[in-house]
Amino acid sequence: MASSVPRMVGRRLLAALPSIVAVVVVTFLLTRALPGDPAAFFAGPAATPEAVEAIRHSLGLDRPLPVQFASYVAGLARGDFGTSLTTGQPVGAEILQRLPASVELTLAGLVLALLIAVPLGVAAATRPGSWIDHGARVVSTAGVSLPVFFTGLLATYVFYYLLGWAPAPMGRLDLFATAPPTVTGFYLIDSLLARDLEAFRSAFAQLVLPALTLGLFAVAPIARMTRASMLGVLSSDFIRTARASGLSSGKVLFAYALRNALLPVVTTMGMVFSFLLGANVLVEKVFAWPGIGSYAIESLIASDYAPVQGFILTMAILYVLLNLLIDVLYGLIDPRVRIDA
Amino acid sequence: MTGTPLLDIDGLSLSFRTRTGTVKALEAVTLSLAKGETLGVVGESGSGKSVLSFAVMGISDPAATVTAGRVLFEGQDLLTASSKDLNALRGAEMAMIFQNPRVALNPIRPVGRQIEDVLLRHAGLTRAEARERAVEMLRRVRIPDPQRRANAYPFEMSGGMCQRVMIALALACSPKLLIADEPTTGLDVTTQAAIMDLVDDLAKETQMATILITHDLGLAAQHCDRIAVMHAGHVVEVAPTAELFAAPRHPYTARLIATTPRPGVTLDALEPIPGMLPDLRGTLPPCRYAARCGRREPVCDGGALAAHLAAPAHSVLCARPL
Amino acid sequence: MTDTATPAPAPTTAAIAPPLSPAAATLKHIRYVLSENPVTAMSFAGFGIMILLGIFGPLIAPYDPLASDTAAALQPPSGAHWFGTDHLGRDILSRVIVATRLDLTISLAAVILAFVVGSVAGVLAGFHGGVTDRIIGRLVDTIMAFPLFVLAMGIVAALGNTIGNIVLATAVINIPFYVRMARAETNARREAGFVEAARLSGNGTFRILGWHVFPNILPPMMVQVSLNMGYAILNAAGLSFIGLGVRPPTPEWGIMVAEGAGYIVSGEWWIALFPGTVLMLAVFCFNLLGDGLRDIIDPRRRT
C-alpha cells in the first residue's frame, strides 16, 4: 500500500497541470488587456513617437499575440517575470525574496485558525444545543462577516495603542533587531537555527497580531464544517459499534470520530486557502508586512504592472500547489481514495 | 432455565422526547436470559426490538429516557452503572453485532486494527499479542487469508465478509452475551445462512448466550430456544420456540405465525396483519394491539394489563388469550 | 435501519392542521421562522434600514459628506459630530450614511450580474450537458484556480481603476457559485416529470428553461444571493482599502477605513472604527439574512 501514495501524488500533479496552464493564460491575457500603452509609459512623457515605437519593438509588443505568449511562457520557464519599473530589479528575484514573509504569515494564521476552530467545532458537535454550540454558531456567522483589514486595525488599536502589549505594526522585526541569516526565509525558524533568541522573540511578537487577524478570519468556515461533519459522524453506525465495544470515549471521539470528520474539513480547506491568500494581502497592508501582497499594492499605486502580474501568477500557482497538498492529505487520511488511485 | 439468569430485564419502560411529544417506545418490558441460552426477539419494524437492545447495551439515543425498570447483568444494574463500569462490560462481557455491517465498521481503519482496539481495551494484551489474536479471530470466523485481510478496509470487503469481521470484533474478548440485531439484513440468502450458522457454532463453542433480534419469525424459529414477541413497545408473548408455534396464546403471535412463509403453505394462505402500529405518542390504551385485533371485547379496554403465565415458562400479555 | 433508537420525524404541523392555500402556508411558515428565530427577524429589520439609508442617505446626513473644514479636523465624537471628524474635518457620520448607497449599489450590481450570467450558464450546462457543460465547467475551474480576491485585484488592475471594473471583478469571482448551484439544481430537475410533460406538450428548450426549470431553482439561488451580498460588500471594500476602484474623496466604507488606518497608531480610533463597524454590520446582516432565508425555504437544511 505504501507504493500507492507516490502514485497518487503523481496523478494529482498531472491533474493540476490544466489549472496551471489556465492560470498562465489568464495572467497573460490580463496584462495584454492593460489600459494605456506600456511602451509609452516606459519611454516617459517627453519621448518622440519614434522612441516609443523603438521601445515597443524592444519589448516585443508589436508582435502577434501568440508569439508574445510564447516568449512570455519561455520567460516564465527561465524564471523571468519581467523587471520592476520602480526598483529596476527583476520581479522574480524580488518576489522570491518576499515570498517567505507571506508564507510564514499565512501558515501561522492557518495553524492558529485550526487550533481554535477544530476544538470549537468538536465541542459544539458533542454538546448540541449547549451554550458552546450556540457560541460556535454566532462565531461562525460573525467570523465570515469580518472585514479582515478592519479587525486588524481594531486589534492594533487595542493591543498596541491602548494596552501596549503588541509592538508597532511595522513589519516582521522591531527596529533594533537584526534579521537572522537566511536559511528558510522564515524568521521564526531562521532565528532559532542561528540561536538568536532576541530575533526570535522580536519576530514572534511582530507575527502574533497579523497571524491572529488572519487566523480569526479562517476560524468560521473551519469551525462550521468541523461541527457539521462531526455531528454527522457521531450519529453514524460505526461510532455506535465503537461505543458498543466499550472503547474509551477519548478513543471513540478522536481515533474514530474526528479522523473521519476531518475528511470534509480537509476538502473545504481549498476554499479556506482561497480566502486566506486574499485576506493575506489586506493584512500585509495593515501591518506593513513586507510580503508579496504589500509588494503588489506598492506596485499597483505606482502603476508598475510587471510586479502585479508576477504577484498574481505566484499567488495562483501557490494556490494550485496548496490544493494539491490538500488532495494528497486527503488521500493519506482516506484509504478509499488512496487505493482507487 | 436454571440458576440466576445472566440477563434480567425487569419492567423496563423507555420513552423519547421529541418536538411533537413523548414517544413511549418501551413499556414494562420483562425478559430474562439464562447462561448459554438463545432468545429470539421478534416483531414488526418499530415494535421496539432495537430500542430494547440499545437500552441493554447503554447506547440509546440521547433523547431516550428510562422511566422505570431495571436491567440486571449478572446481578449488576446496567442502568445505574457508571459509564466507566459500563465501558468495562461492553465489548468484554457483552457485545453486539448490527445490521448493515458495511457501515457498522469504521471506513478508514483496517479491520484488523478495529479488532485490536477492542482487545487492547479489554484483554490487557501488548500490541503484538493483540495483533495475533485479531488475526486468530478472523480465522475463527472463517475469513480466508486472515493475515492479509487484517490489513484490508471495510470498503474492500463484501457485506458478508464485513459481518464476519463484526462477529470477530464482538467475540474477540469471549463475551457471555451477544446481541445480534438483524445480523443478516442486507445480505444475500446463502450468506445469511452462513452467518447464522457461524453465530450458532461460536455460541455453542463458548457457552455464550445470544439474543437474536429479527423481524423474521422463521429465522428465530430455526436458531432460538425461546422466542419473545414484541408489539408497539410491549412484550406480548414469551414461550419456548416449539410451544409458541404449536400453541400461540396471543392473537398477534397467531397472526404473525400465519404471515410467516413455511413449507407446505401457499402464498394465498399467508394473511397480512390488518392495521398499523399505533402512534406511540400521547395516551395509549392498556392493550396496544386492541385496535388491530379481531378478538377485541370491552374487557380489552378495561384496566391495566399485566403479563401472566399461560403455561410454565409461557407468559402472555392479553385479556382474552387464545 | 428500520428500527433505530431515533423515532421517525413526526409529520409537520401542516399535515395535522387543516389545509391552507400555498401562499397562506408560506406566510405562516415565514411567521413561524421569524418568531422562532428573533435573529432572523433582526436581520430583516437591518436590511430594511440599509435600504432606507441607501435611498434617503443624502437627505438624512447632517453635513455635506465632502465639505472639509480644516479647523475642525480630527475631532473625536461629540454632540455636533456624533462619529467625529476625519483629517480634513469632514463629518464621519454623514460620510458613513452617504456611503451606504455606493456600497450597496456596487455589491448589488455585482451580485445581479453574477446571478444572471452564472445562472444562465449553469442552467445551460445542467440542461444540455456534453460539450456545453464541459466548456462552462472549464471556465469556472479557471476562475476557481485563483485565490478569488487576488483575481479581483488582477482584473481591476488590468482593466482600470473604475467603479464599473470593481463591479465586474466582484461579479466574475462570484459567478462560479451560481454556475455550480444552477447546474446542480437543473441537473436534478432535468428528468423531473413536469419538465418531461412540458417537453411532450411541444415547448421549445428556451421556453422550458425559462418557464419550467428556472422558477424552480430560484428559491435556493436567492439564498445564495443573500449570502453573496455580504461577500461582495467585503470584497469591494477590500479593493477600495488597497487603493483600487473607488477614489478619494468619494465616501465609501472601505476607503474610509483606509483613511483612518494611519491614525489608529496615534489613537484617533473613530475615523476607522465607525465605517468599519457599519461595514461589518452590513455584511453580518446579509449573512444572517441568507441563513434565515434558507430556513424559510428549506427547513431541513438548518445548521
SS (H, E, C) C75-127: CCCCCCCCCCECCCCCEHHHHHHHHHHHHHHHHHHHHHHHHHHHHHHHHHHHH
Phi, psi torsion values for A190, nearest 5 degrees: -60, -40
Q: Does B4 touch chain A (CB under 8 A)?
A: no
Q: Locate C206 and state its grid cell.
A: 428556451
A251 in contact with chain B, both atoms CB, cutoff 8 A = yes
CA A340/CA B7 separation, integer angstroms = 46
Q: Is the pLDDT of residue B210 over 60?
A: yes
Asked if A236 and A131 sit in the same domain, the reply is: yes
CATH number at residue A272: 1.10.3720.10
A42 and A150 housed in the same domain: no
Q: Is A3 exposed, middle or buried (0-12, 13-18, 19+ CB in 10 A)?
A: exposed
The answer on A309 and A183 residing in a single domain is: yes
**Contacts B63 to C, Cβ<8 Å:** 6
State phi, psi for A5 to the nearest 5 degrees.
Answer: -70, -50
Q: Which residues in chain A are closer than 8 Å to C144, comparing Cβ atoms?
A: 274
- The reply to whether B98 touches chain A by the CB within 8 Å rule is yes
- Residues in B 36-65 with any Cβ partner in A closer than 8 A: 57, 59
The set of cell numbers assigned to A48 is: 518622440
Q: Residue A4 — pLDDT band, cuts 50, 70, 90?
A: low
Contact at 8 Å (CB) between C137 and C126? no
pLDDT in tens, A205-259: 899 999 999 998 889 889 988 998 998 899 899 999 999 998 988 899 989 999 9
Instruction: Calculate how close chain B gets to A118, using CA atoms only, in Å.
Output: 20
Give the residue extent of every domain in chain B. Answer: 7-93+175-316
Distance from the Cα of B48 to chain C's closest Cα (Å) equals 7
One domain for residues A41 and A180: no
CA distance B27 to B317: 12
Q: What angle do CA A247, A249, A254 make, to 5 degrees?
A: 100
Minimal CA separation from A256 to chain B, in Å: 7
Inter-chain CB proximity C155 and A30 less than 8 Å: yes
Q: β-strands B308-311, B226-231: how paired?
A: unpaired
Q: Cβ A296–C153 below 8 Å, yes or no? A: yes
Q: Residue A116: which pLDDT band, with cuts at 50, 70 and 90?
A: very high
Cell numbers 499479542: residue: B129
Say if residue A40's pLDDT is above 70: no
| Beta strands at B38-42 and B226-231: parallel, antiparallel or unpaired | parallel
Global confidence as pTM: 0.82
Residue B93: the pLDDT is: 92
Instruction: Pick the residue of A20, A21, A144, A149 with the most C CBs within 10 A to test the interface with C by mutation.
Output: A149
Q: Is B121 helix (H, G, I), strand (E, B) or coil?
A: helix
Helix (H, G, I), strand (E, B) or coil at B40: strand
Q: What percent of chain B has pLDDT over 70?
A: 96
Distances from the Cα of C23 to the Cαs of C28, C29, C112, C290, in angstroms?
A: 9, 10, 26, 21
Q: Which residue does chain A place closest to C147, by CA atoms?
A: A274
* Residues in A 132-161 with any Cβ partner in C closer than 8 A: 137, 141-142, 144-150, 153-154, 156-157, 160-161
Interface test with B, best of A238, A239, A254 (most B CBs within 10 A): A238
Question: Looking up cell 481514495, which residue turns up?
Answer: A337
Name residues 202-241 of chain A within 8 A of B (Cβ). 236-238, 240-241
ipTM: 0.87
Name B199's Cβ contacts closer than 8 Å, sequence gap at least 6.
B167, B178, B180, B183, B210, B212, B223
Secondary structure in 3-state letters for A311-322 = HHHHHHHHHHHH
Question: Is B229 strand, coil or helix?
Answer: strand
Contact A35 C257 (CB under 8 A): no
- For residues B39 and B7, give the distance between their C-alpha atoms in angstroms, rounded to a whole number: 11
The rounded distance, in Å, linking the Cα atoms of B316 and C201 is 62
Residue-wise pLDDT tens digits, C171-198: 999 999 899 888 888 887 777 666 677 7
Cβ–Cβ below 8 Å for C5 and B47? no
**Which pLDDT score, from 0 to 100, does residue C20 have?**
58
- What is the SS3 assignment for A61? coil
Burial of B75 (0-12, 13-18, 19+ CB in 10 A): exposed
Q: Is residue A83 part of a domain?
A: no
Look at B104 and A1 and tell me if their CB atoms are within 8 Å: no
Distance CA C105, CA B115 (A): 61
Residue contact B108–A333, C-beta within 8 A: yes
How far off is chain C from B153, nearest CA to CA, in Å? 22
- A247 contacts chain B (CB < 8 A): yes
Distance separating alpha carbons of residues C78 and C270, to the nearest angstrom: 11
Residue A246 C-beta-side C-alpha neighbours within 13 Å: 28
Best of A126, A241, A260, A332 to disrupt the B interface by mutation (most B CBs within 10 Å)? A241
Chain B residues with CB under 8 Å of C11 CB are: 20
d(CA C152, CA C240): 12
Chain A's closest residue to C150, CA to CA, is A278
Nearest to C243 among A19, A273, A297 (CB): A297
* CATH numeric code, C83-301: 1.10.3720.10
**Which cell goes with C31?**
411567521
Type of residue at C147: P
Q: Which chains touch B (3 or more CB pairs under 8 A)?
A: A, C
Q: Which of C2, C3, C7 sits opposite B18 (nearest CB)?
A: C7
Decide if pLDDT at B212 tops 90: yes
- In DSSP notation, C45-83 reads HHHHHHHHHHHHHHHH-SS-TT---GGGTTPPS-SSSTT
CB contacts, 8 Å: B92 with chain A: 246
- To the nearest whole Å, the CA of B92 is away from the closest chain C CA by 23
Distance of CA C164 to the CA centre of its chain: 17
Whether chain C has a CB inside 8 Å of the CB on B277: the answer is no
Task: Say what the pLDDT of residue B6 is.
Answer: 92
For residue C11, the cross-strand partners are none
CATH of region B7-93+175-316 = 3.40.50.300
In a domain, A331, yes or no: yes
From the list C138, C241, C266, the residue facing A149 with the nearest CB is C241
The CA distance from C222 to the nearest CA of chain B, in Å, is 29
A218 lies within 8 A of chain C by CB: no
Rounded CA gap, A101 and B133, in Å? 53
**Do B117 and B133 touch, CB atoms closer than 8 A?**
no
Cβ distance A153 to C145 less than 8 Å, yes or no, reads no
With CA atoms as reference, the chain C residue closest to B65 would be C5
C-alpha cell, C12? 409537520
User: Is B127 buried (19+), middle (13-18) or exposed (0-12) by CB count in 10 A?
Assistant: exposed
CB A122 within 8 A of CB A258: yes
CA A153 to chain centre: 20
C contacts of B45 (beta carbons < 8 Å): 2-3
Query: Could you tell me if A50 lies within 8 Å of chain B, comparing CB atoms?
Result: no
**H or E element in which residue B15 lies:** strand B7-18
Kindly list the partner chains of chain A, i.e. chains with 3 or more CB atom pairs below 8 Å.
Answer: B, C
**To the nearest whole angstrom, how far is the Cα of B100 from the nearest Cα of chain C?**
8
Which has the higher per-residue pLDDT, A98 or C216?
A: A98
> Could you tell me the three cell numbers for B179?
446481541
**Dihedral angle computed from the Cα positions of residues C228, C230, C235 and C241, in that order, rounded to the nearest 10 degrees:** 170
Contact between chains at A336 and B104 (C-beta distance less than 8 A) = no
Residue A50 lies in domain? 15-77
Name chain C contacts of A305, Cβ cutoff 8 Å: 157
Domain count, chain A: 2
To which residue does cell 486557502 refer?
A273
Residues A263-285, mean pLDDT to the nearest whole number: 90
Instruction: Give the other-Cβ count within 10 Å of A4's Cβ.
Output: 15
Helix-strand-coil percent breakdown of chain A, rounded to 5?
75, 0, 25
Distance of residue A22 Cα from the nearest chain C Cα, in angstroms:
6
What does the alpha-carbon distance between residue C1 and residue B101 come to, in Å, rounded to a whole number? 11
**What pLDDT, on a 0 to 100 scale, did the predictor assign at position A36?**
55
Residue C66, C-alpha cell as written in the block: 465632502
CB contact under 8 A, C254 and A154: no
pLDDT, tens only, B128-179? 999 999 999 999 888 999 999 999 999 999 988 999 999 999 999 989 999 9
**What's the CA gap between B149 and B280, in Å, rounded?**
45
The Cα A320–Cα A122 span in angstroms is: 29
A194–chain C nearest CA distance, Å: 32
Report angle CA B25, B26, B28 to the nearest 5 degrees.
155
For residues A52 and A146, state if they share a domain: no
The residue type of A55 is: I
Query: Are A73 and A121 within one domain?
Result: no
Distance from the B73 Cα atom to the nearest Cα atom in chain A, whole angstroms: 15
Measured CA to CA, the distance from residue B39 to residue A219 in angstroms comes to 52
| Contact between chains at C7 and B25 (C-beta distance less than 8 A) | yes
Q: How far apart are CA B220 and CA B227, in angstroms?
A: 7
Give the 3-state secondary structure of residue C42. helix
A-interface mutation test, from C47, C234, C293, most A Cβ less than 10 A away: C234
Question: A240 and A303 in one domain?
Answer: yes
Q: Please tell me whether residues A57 and A147 are part of one structural domain.
A: no
* Cβ atoms of A242 and B98 closer than 8 Å: no
pLDDT of chain C along its 303 residues, tens only? Answer: 334 444 444 444 433 445 556 677 777 777 776 666 677 778 888 888 888 888 888 888 787 887 777 787 778 888 777 788 888 878 888 888 888 899 899 999 999 999 999 988 988 888 887 888 899 988 998 898 899 999 999 888 888 788 899 999 999 999 998 998 888 888 877 776 666 777 677 677 777 777 767 777 777 778 788 878 888 999 999 998 888 878 888 888 888 888 888 888 887 888 888 899 999 999 988 888 887 777 777 654 443
**Contact residues on chain A for C241, CB-CB shorter than 8 A:** 147, 149, 282, 285
- Which H helix or E strand runs over B315? strand B314-316
